[in-house]
Amino acid sequence: LLFLLTKFAWNPILAGLDKRERGIAETIAATQQANDEAKRMLASYERRLAEAADEVRGMLDEARRDAEATRQSIVSEARRAADDEQARAKREIGLARDEALSAIAERAGQLAVGVAGKFLREKLSTDEQARLVRDSVAAIQSTPSRN
Q: Quote the mean pLDDT of the chain.
A: 87
CB 100 within 8 A of CB 147: yes
Can you give the residue ranges of every domain in the chain?
9-142
Query: What is the tens place of the pLDDT at every residue in 104-142?
Result: 888 887 888 787 777 666 666 778 778 877 887 787 777
Is residue 75 scored above 60 in pLDDT?
yes
When pLDDT is cut at 50, 70 and 90, the band that residue 41 belongs to is: very high
Q: What would the mean pLDDT of 39-65 be, rounded to a whole number?
A: 97
CB 107 within 8 A of CB 143: yes
Is residue 146 scored above 70 in pLDDT?
no
C-alpha to C-alpha distance for 136 and 117, rounded to whole angstroms: 12
When pLDDT is cut at 50, 70 and 90, the band that residue 102 belongs to is: confident
Q: Directed axis angle between helix 126-142 and helix 11-121, to 10°?
A: 160
Position 134 scores a pLDDT of 82
CB 147 within 8 A of CB 104: no
